[in-house]
Structure 1
Amino acid sequence: MEDILEQRSPMSSPDVVTNETNGFDQGATVGYDYEFIPTLDNKYMCPICLLALRDPVQTSCGHRFCHLCILRCIRNQARCPVDQIPLSSKQLFQDRSAHREVLDLKVKCSNDGCDVVLELRHMQKHHDICPFLQVPCKYYCGVTFALSESHFHYESQCTHRPVRCSVCQQTYPLNAAMAHEEDCKQHEPVECEHCKHKFKRYRLNQHISGECPQAPIKCVFDNVGCHKQHPRHHIEEHMKKSTQVHLQYLLSTVTALQKQSNTLQESLMKAQENFKTFNVISSQSAPLSQVPPSTKILDLDELSCTITNINLYDSDSEIHHDTSPATEVDEKDEFDEIALIKASHKQLEERYGRSASSSSSVASSPVVLPNTFNTTDVCTCKAAAGLKVLQNKHTDHDEKIVSLDHHVRELVAKMENQVLQMKDINTKLSAVEQRLEQQELRCCNGLYYWKIKEYAKLRRAATIGDMPVLHSPGFYTSPQGYRMCIRANLDGVENAQGTHLSLFVHIMKGEYDDFLTWPFYGTITLTIINQRELPSQRMNISETLEARSNLMAFQRPTTERNQKGYGYIDFYPLRMLETNGFTKNNTLVIKAQVRVYENPVK
């Protein structure tokens, strides 16, 4: 009885079958609700719904009910609702006489403003074409109007009615006229300034950047000196003729780089020599008076530096002897000391110039250290000790740098090991995800929903030619069935380019092709899912194609995917696709439902 309740009554006459697609008497679950002329006699009224009998049945106790009304009633309580006598579905009998009598009754049209009176059996046909029938706009502008006013509404009033552009010949809703004007400019024919050929504006940049033979492009040796621009079809000839010139440009560039490298190397060597000289001076721990003249000869600058160093350390009352590795030597302070040494050079010349020589060449000649410096031995030892402290600090810093370098190397090694482990985990995870995806595609049983995300971005890419074709993942008609995919051209193809969405189906190689019947026999239904918020406003667009055995598209594939596909060039207008609720959250959903014929249809 459960199955019977979910189906239409088997006694429904073809004359009174309701049309569920247009909303007339939708569901057919109760009696006929009309204004009867004359008033409905009680003998034709269902005691349960109090309406005219629909598909009347008579009980064993002599009462009449609508077929579905009494079935629902005895499902809850197996008794007659009039006299409470026990009753079952097997005790119901068709009352064909009452059925004909009810259909012969006169009823008035239920539409406001319509005075037509007809027999009940003819009222449905009249209702479908009644001029006073209130219908919603098929373009979803939100207006409801009488059927007689539909022509006027669609021609003059509807703000969503489609209009055709006189420039690009595309169809778009009237309320999107301003947006279309901006987009239409991309379809205007413009002339290439280089080759003088005409193209649509949206293809002009692509033509100039990659196709135009007259477009000027830079030479590949532009970075080394060849700054001339040449037409694209002459660039190869330029490369052949200018080989020597390009080599000269390269030679000049390499030479300049070598000079720069040599200059840097010389500067580095001078810096190293100055550093070595400073170390030699700072490492002299013996008194200056005890150094043999034959082994210790300094020029005036070196002598000045040494004596100034002594004076500096002698005059400094606080010499830091902390040799702890934690104490850092400020290199800036060392440079300041060297600057002070040079600044005191003039004072040294005035103090010791008279005793060294009376001629003008004393300043440039080597000077032997005199014995008059015996009184400064103590100061010299202090200076040498201070320099020794600095050297110890540098040594400690070097050891600390080496230790940190080893630590960094260990951390880098650990990090590289972890990166390798992460790559291995990601690889395994990707393999698992692919297996799950393949399992879903295999078990979809020919019903597959393809979500095209970032639709606006892909649509623009298709418009400029960067991504004209999209293919869905390959899905199976059954776990061991045929494998196929959907192909979508978001900007259309051939005559429908720029105006319609093109959809095709391609047969793909599968694991069980050896056991399947070829060519493929069956039907494929392609549907664009409407994603409006209210279910009552959703209107999916579907087209069904039937496989043809003589077409290459349905033969067994010899490559991963058959080159030939089968489908619709102008499946649906692009403008209506983007404005009628088919995209939501920038996503377009396409459904494919495949039915395979077990026995080929001849």
Structure 2
Amino acid sequence: MVRSLAQWTKTLSFPARISPNKGSKDNINIHQISPTITPTPSSNSLSKNNEINGIMNNNLSNNDVNQIYPDPESEKAIMSSVVYCIHHKEGCKWSDELRKLKGHLNTCKHDAIPCTSKCGAQIPRVLMEDHLKYTCPQRRTRCEFCNKEFSGHALENHVGNCGYEPLYCENKCGVKIARRHLSQHKTSDCSKRLLPCRYCAKEFVCDTLTAHHLKCGRVPVSCPNRCEANVLAREELEAHLKEECTVSVQSCSFKEAGCRFKGPRYNMDKHLEENCQQHLTMMCTMVSKQQHQITSLKSALSRLSLNYSGTLIWKISDFSAKMAEARNKEGMELVSPPFYTSQYGYKLQASLFPNGNGAGENTHISVYIKILPGEYDALLRWPFAHSVSFTLFDQSTCPEKACNIVESFIPDPTWKNFQRPSKEPDSLGFGFPKFVSHEMLKKRHFMKDDTMFIRVKVDPSKIVAV
């Protein structure tokens, strides 16, 4: 920043006291006569600076000098005092008598002087060269880009607007180009400019547009079968070949049934018409095969769902309706899902007569167990000798107060019911005709939500199978 002479002039600093050889009386007089000059470097009084500047510039009249220094001896002592340069804080190392300060300031490189190019600025001598070269408004210099000559002030306005100044493209394409050509570059040559696809009208960066054309769905293409269709959009070609192209080779719609015909679409209707009976036969054959597959799958599914634990929990729901039906239909029997004593053990099935059977008819519920022909009967020991128990669960809300009904038996090896079953198993089996009376069912919580649970358990400790 350019400062005036008054701003550069600072309070004088004295390295030693004034006139050390003078007496104390003279020193007192000096301080009394010249209170405006102080040896303390911390004073910044503007009036003191102005007085010192006046002394240095001989602007004061003799009368004024006499008023400030009425005693010639005091004046001489003051002017002989050793002081630092007023610019010592800026780096000037000069120090000498006060009377020599003015002459020093005329050559001090830290002292401000008017610009030699008459721009009006006060510039320290040490900065004058840089000022004349770089910052003086009156300097003459050339633009580094267009090489035209300008004054300093005009160059400042010119910089940033020079048409020859190279600039990087704002689209970040990496190209550096003169300002006057930049606008045309961004609209015509820049590889990062946005361009619309001429097929789908979406905008893409210029250098990616070619890659987009390779997969654009709206690019026109011809049918590869050379049918009579006009040019198609790429995204419509697949649907055209599958549903519309007349010369497209297709398989017969009865392909899954065994028809091997392949031909152009325009021949398909004729083929279907001429081979109607053949297609019907194929479909019947296929349906038959599917029926066998369904039966096989059902069998496999039933095997996967079989119980191999030797214990069956049989849930009988809607018991009231079944009881009413049993009373109207003599000998009505409910059968459980089959279960095995083990994975390779005996195959069993429980049965229940809601209205009783034999001795329990019309008064009790009868339960039985029957042995069914199993897959592994040839490996098992006969007769069947496992103990069997039936349990009717009391569904009381308090388990401690529940009272289940349990009946069990050990098979008699002489009974026919426990011999190896034939393909036609015994129709009844073995069990308890009077398992539980109809009256007992009403006394406790054997029925809940019209549902009862019966457990049939084969005691594993009695297993004699291989």
Give the TM-score normalised by the residue count of structure 1: 0.28
Structure whose CA Rg is larger: 2
By percentage of residues, which structure has more helix? Answer: 1
